[in-house]
Amino acid sequence: GNSVTQMEGPVTLSEEAFLTINCTYTATGYPSLFWYVQYPGEGLQLLLKATKADDKGSNKGFEATYRKETTSFHLEKGSVQVSDSAVYFCALSEDSNYQLIWGAGTKLIIKP
């Protein structure tokens, strides 16, 4: 079945460091891929998405490229801030199924 695998956290970085959170997926068809973020005490928010191979999603300085050949959708940011501290979830959705399959989440801690 479909699945999403994320790198385990927590990931601890200093402010202005480069961030990569790895995400790989298994899917039978051609899914859409998403990154959601959950700030402390809040619900999930869509951070970015990509709907087909080689698409790049971007938002708030974060980027992720849909790589079909490596079945990956790694999240990157060039210079993180303390306010980026949150839990990040990678997810996929196949239009035929109308539901999200989630990764386990990666907690990101940014120290000043």
Query: Site residues (CB under 8 A) for another protein?
Result: 32, 34, 36, 41-46, 49, 51, 89, 91, 93, 95, 97-105
Which residue do the tokens 């990569």 mark? 20
**21 phi/psi in degrees, rounded to 5:** -120, 120
Instruction: Report the helix count and the strand count for the chain, using DSSP H and E.
Output: 0, 12
Which residue, 40 or 112, is less far from another protein as judged by CB?
40
Which residue, 17 or 55, is less far from another protein as judged by CB?
55
Query: Which pairing describes strands 86-93 and 56-59: parallel, antiparallel, or unpaired?
Result: unpaired
For 18, 27, 68, 91, 100, the CA distances from 24, given in Å and listed in that order, are: 20, 10, 10, 10, 15
Smallest distance from the beta carbon of 7 to another protein, in angstroms? 14
Which residue, 46 or 53, is less far from another protein as judged by CB?
46
Smallest distance from the beta carbon of 65 to another protein, in angstroms? 18
Smallest distance from the beta carbon of 101 to another protein, in angstroms? 8
